[in-house]
Amino acid sequence: MSDSVQLHIKGMSCASCVGRIEKALKQVDGVSSASVNLANETATVSGTASVSALANAITNAGYQLKQRQQQYGVTGMTCASCAGRVEKALLKVQGVVNAQVNLATEQVSLTLLDALNTEQLQQALVGSGYTLVEKDQADNSAKTDTLPFYRQPWFPVLGSAVLTLPLILPMLGMLFGVDWMLPALWQWMLATPVQFYFGARFYKGGWSALKAGTGNMDLLVALGTSAAYSLSLYLWLTFDGQHGAAHLYFESSAAVLTLVILGKWLEHRAKRRTTDALRALENLKPTEARVKRDDTWQMVAAASIQSGEIVQVKPGERIAVDGEVLSGDSSVDEALISGESLPLHKSSGDKVVGGAINLDGVLELRATSVGAESTLAKIINLVEQAQGAKAPVQALVDKISAIFVPVVLLVALVTLLGWGFSTGNWAQGILNAVAVLVIACPCALGLATPAAIMAGTGTAARHGILVKDAIALEQATQIDYVVFDKTGTLTEGKPELVQFTAITGSETELLTLAVSLQQHSEHPLAKAVLVKAEQDNISAVDTRDFSVVAGKGVKAKVDGTQFMLGSSHWMRELGLELPVDLINAKGASVSWLAKAPADNPELKPEQKPELLGLLCFNDTLKPHAKKAVAQLQKQGIKVAMLTGDSKASAEGVAAELKLDNYQAEVLPADKASFIKQCQKDGHQVAMVGDGINDAPALAQADLGIAMATGTEIAVSAAAITLMRGEPALVGAALTIAGKTYRKIQQNLFWAFIFNTVGIPLAALGYLNPIIAGAAMASSSLIVVSNALLLQRWKMQE
């Protein structure tokens, strides 16, 4: 950070907030002064502390910085140390809160305080050999169809292989006693283009690293192959012409370069496969759509469609926007968006999502969400965030990568001097040092984590499971207790009013008052009352002062009289004794209607309200709920249910599903308290919910899992989002997360084992440079290929 920086803060509401934030900022090392302005919600901080440190202090104090996310492509990176150096350079730019480089996608995700253009950010990378490019440009540069052959990614592989093969073949001939050795001049002529034309990329990258005072893979390869090439040149020029031909090593330098170039090309192809799921989602966006403008149907750019416009979709076309069907009937395939394998029938009044395929009928729909607000755009954004995020274990990898290249250079130097002074064979010492430099490439180390995350989160997305960040993957492996909300999660969330009994007055009056109180509510029970009233031709009357009592019910005034409709728990709080013997519907959710006394409209304790009647609702279990619970229990996970419904209703569901625990008549705050108690008992808890009242519990849980069929608040509070309201996806989400994290561990094991075993063998002379080059190239390929095995995972039916 420079001398002074201004931060925009969200969540401040009073003077005490100002004091807390100022205190938190002043405790950060390097801060000389900090002042907070409540009126414009800003903080001005002076000193040398990093913006990232200031952001962490504000977050820990319970507030948030106003930030924006931005992604760029990065060219010139070759290994984990490159990624770390790009991050470190960008974090020095004022206004950059966080920078995360993904070596596998060659992209950086930036968290910024203010809008920064590419030129401002590129200044931080001047002279380093790395270049920032706009994400769209990076995506376009990956398309090679229009490039001439000599710029195709495969050309360096083919060119270097053709020149290297004549150098390698004589080595095979020696196995059969045949002398195919080429003259020294021919060897030099074949090896030189490989070294300085096809290998030029390594010199450029290595030189950039040296100028920046660091090292990378390019530097190791350039030093190693240059040593072998120079040794061959020296031996050839100083050879006295006696005792046969000079023993040269041109084939070693050329073969190593060819193997490395081949490995990088194969690695690039494999890395492209890890982003297949994301590209498949991107390809769902149609470029054109048929829109009604000026009373005619016009083909327009899909990006230009405005909310509220009428869109026509013919059979076989992709739907361009989220919308509501106005007319038409058709089957719609949403498989790549929600993971739903069967087409869904859509007709007037139904919702459709952009990217789905209209199969057999013509649909006319009104656009409701377009651009960045569409479901598909949000899914793509979530997948990109997850694939660009770092798992906690990556912190260790970053620390090792920062010192890896200098340590390898030191080991190579010790190898050279050790062999030279102990045996006097400096040529062998150079070759062993070359083997050390070549096998120690840190590419596999940098790819181990991101390749697995990308493959795992991409596979999960294909099955309708969206993972918000890499931390969720690690958390999912430790879960031993899953807590479900009931309504809309384990049950269909479409209850029916099966009984309404009046205690005072008639049942018609009871239903009239109930529908009047519920006409402005979005609760599933309210919708059931509205449906029943419509069936019985009962209309609502006007109400005033309508309000929702969180977790309890609703209240409003009719003709100046206060009425309450809500749970048994609320009614008992109001001092009423409930005639539960009137309930005929077994296992039903029960709401009670009460009227406040005329002289006690504010419901003061001294005078109880009057009970007018009860309403009973039944909600059916989701088809696979029982199987989903059994699958979790089979994995050794305990399953509990929390609900605001009556004890009888909860008891019936718990018995049918064979749950380990349940609690009924629970308020939203009590759900979070229940989870907190489970955590105190030593459990790692996942909460599964879909409503506004589940948000506190989702935030409290070690892992929040939200149904996307629920509210936006629940989805934003969760680390994993299920695109279908299917309980079986919970077990699937934990399974794919666990498999992904295990792949990360396996990849890191392979990456470390290649170096911990290979470097000592090379230093002791047991590996020649060619074998070392093959081993180095294969290490990256093994890591990426192992990650790609996740794409074969299929959810159990």
In the residue annotation, 485 being an active-site residue is answered as: yes
* Residues 96, 122: Cα–Cα separation, whole Å: 13
* Per-residue tokens: 795: 């959810």
Residue owning tokens 């130097």: 413
Show the CA angle centred on residue 339, arms to residues 334 and 344, nearest 5°. Answer: 35
| Burial zone of 535 (CB within 10 Å; 0-12 exposed, 13-18 middle, 19+ buried) | exposed
Between the CA of residue 722 and those of 25, 581, 631, what are the distances in Å? 38, 40, 17
Sequence-ordered strand ranges (E) for 487-637: 496-502, 544-549, 553-558, 561-566, 589-595, 610-618
Return the half-sphere exposure (C-beta side, CA atoms, 13 A cut-off) of residue 640: 18
Q: Side chain identity at 167, as an amino acid letter? A: L
* CB-CB contact of 387 with 454 (8 Å): yes
Q: 10 Å Cβ neighbour count for 630? A: 14
Of 183, 192, 173, nearest to 236 (Cα)? 183
Of 348, 23, 251, 39, nearest to 771 (Cα)? 251
* Residues 153, 149: Cα–Cα separation, whole Å: 9
| Burial zone of 684 (CB within 10 Å; 0-12 exposed, 13-18 middle, 19+ buried) | middle
Between the CA of residue 737 and those of 235, 294, 458, 649, 703, what are the distances in Å? 56, 50, 11, 33, 12
Alpha carbon 579 to its chain's center = 51
* Per-residue tokens: 796: 């159990």
What does residue 764 show for φ and ψ, rounded to 5 degrees? Answer: -85, 0
* CB-CB contact of 72 with 52 (8 Å): no
Phi-psi region at 102: left, alpha or beta (left = phi > 0; alpha = psi -120 to 50) = beta
Q: Which of 398, 485, 690, 702 is catalytic?
A: 485
* Residues 506, 330: Cα–Cα separation, whole Å: 44
Residue owning tokens 């009931």: 486
Active site residues: 485
